[in-house]
Each structure stands twice: as structure tokens, then as C-alpha cells.
Structure 1
């Protein structure tokens, strides 16, 4: 098994997912490292799903393990998890808006963050999100609706296109 291929192909993607769940850069790095170590040691990928799906599910499960382990530990998060290129007024404005949205999303409970992440960031359908996190589709739809409403309440002065019809 060529572990370097998996790290190069999926490392950044898995890190972003882990960061959304853990809200901690070091923890996200550790989670992703654990995923790759486990993949290398067990070499149990049976190709019943895509590599990306398999690794994503492993990452989510490791994040849940981390969160259970550190449940009592709370940390303030105001860091960026997306790169921002400072060139031109539009890029600055978009970066500021993105930061506000990211900050608001990170304040949401995990059950809402994870459906938003998979639905909007990964561009998955409700059925695919339900499959990833092992909950009914109706629960995903409800959580999406509630997450949008919570974001709308947090960002009242800003009219975000995605929140208009909530």
C-alpha cells in the first residue's frame, strides 16, 4: 500500500473535516495522522466504497473519539481554517465575510456543523450526508433547517443568499 498517495491525495481534505469537528488545529492534525496510521497498519480497505468515502468516515469516527475523550475541555476558536489571499478589495471583503461565516459555524453545536459541512462544503445530497453520519435523511433535513436558522439569528445584519428562504 502506497500511503504517500493517500496522504497527498486526501490529507488536506481530511484535515479540514477534522478541524471542523474538533475546532483545534493540533487535534485535527493528530486525527488525520491517526487515520493514515490505522489505514497503513490494517490495510483493510476493501473497496466497497470510494477511497475518499472510506477515509472520510474513518476521520469522522476518529473525531468523535477525540471529542468523547476531551468532552470536558473547551477552547476558544477564532482561527482561520481557510487560506485568504490578500489581493484587491474584493478578496478582502470576501475573506472578511468568510471569516464571519466560519466563526458563526464554529459556534454551532457539532450536530449542526457536521451537516452544514457535508451539505455545503462537500456538496453532498441529504441522502449522502445521512449515510456518512448514520442518521435518517429526515434528521439531516431538520438539522440543516435548524442550522440555517441559527446562522441567520447569529448574522442578522447580513443578508446571506443561502439563508434567505429559511
Structure 2
């Protein structure tokens, strides 16, 4: 799918043409082009495969409903990322109220998952997750995690990130720098030889 949209901070003609198709066709193209990307992005916020599926579905329903509002002020990719990020954050906010129930559910199911129940998507996410650096990134506070992932893993420019997160460029750069510093601290060997029990 040779889409090299990562480096286009503003809308191009192709973006508008996709959106101007009838909504069913447009959402099909968008899901084919960005489906996996969005799922992985949502996972970086939720860190949970089942919730990731639900929220990803919600993201595409919202994109479908809002297609007529896309005016090309940013790239289609930034616009889609913006919706995915907002849905993920909304979910995390509402998650606090369900936290206890979810914990109980996870405690019951975490040890009962068999190999057959692991989906190909889960495997892909686990592959990413097994990478030490990615795991450390996932441990960062959300405000640093999101900019690091968007910049390094999704290859968005700082301008695209500022559009997707609706914050100014300077804030994005500051968070990128702080996030990098925090990562360096996490990755440098700790003094006093802590053991991981």
C-alpha cells in the first residue's frame, strides 16, 4: 500500500478525493489504508487487546459519521489520528469508573487464555511489545508516550503531531525532549543492581 503520508503535514488532493467518494467507499479505503496503524495507536494508549478492538471499531464509526466535516486543513492521516487519540483518551477517562470491575475480569481471564485464543493481531502487538524499548515507551506517562510513539513509531512530523493532539509545536517538541530524557533514564543500567522478582 505504498502510502508515504507520514511526511505530509497538510492535506493533499488524494485525501480530499478519498473523502469525497460516497461514505461507504471512503471508509473502506480509510480502513484498508489506516486500519492496522490505528489499532496499534489505540493499543499504545489502552495496553489491552480486547479494549483496543472495541475502541478501534468506535474510531472508524466516528470517522464514518464525521467524514463530511473533513475540510483538508490537515492531512487525512492527522485528522484520523486526532479522532483515534481522542477516543482513546475518552475511554481511559471513563475507564477509571470501570477500573475495579475490569481488574476482576482480567484476574479471572489472564491465566485462562489458550494459544488458540490469541489472534494474529495479538501476536503482532506482542511482537512489538516484546521489544524492550517499546515496553519502556509504554511505561511512560501518556503525555510523553503519545508524542514518542507518534514521532518515532508512526513517523509523524512535529507539525502533524501538534495537529493530531491539538497543541502547539513547541509543546510537542518539549514533550519529545522530556520523553527522550525519561527513556534514557529507564534504559541506563540502574545503580544498586535491582532484581526483577
TM-score over 0.5 (shorter chain): yes
Choose from 44, 49, 56 the match for 2:81: 56
Calculate the TM-score normalised by the size of structure 2.
0.63
Choose from 20, 25, 29 the match for 2:49: 25
Q: Secondary structure at the match of 2:68?
A: coil
CA shift for structure 1 position 144: 1.2
Give the alignment's Cα RMSD to 1 decimal.
Answer: 2.7
CA shift for structure 1 position 136: 2.2
Corresponding residue of 2:134: 102
Relative contact order, CA 8 A, sep 6+: which one is greater?
Answer: 2
Q: Secondary structure at the match of 1:112?
A: helix
Deviates more, 1:25-34 or 1:38-47: 38-47
Residue 156 to residue 38, structure 1, CA distance change in 2 (3 Å): same
Calculate the TM-score normalised by the size of structure 1.
0.74
CA shift for structure 1 position 116: 0.2
CA shift for structure 1 position 117: 1.0
Residue 37 to residue 63, structure 1, CA distance change in 2 (3 Å): same
Q: Which has the larger radius of gyration?
A: 2
**Count of paired positions:** 145
Contact 1:39 1:45 in 2 (8 A): no
Choose from 135, 140, 144 the match for 1:112: 144
Alignment of 1:68 onto 2:93: yes
Residue 134 to residue 13, structure 1, CA distance change in 2 (3 Å): same
- Give 1 or 2: higher helix fraction: 2
**Uncovered stretches (5+) of structure 1, i.e. residues with no partner:** 85-94, 158-166
Alignment of 1:122 onto 2:147: no
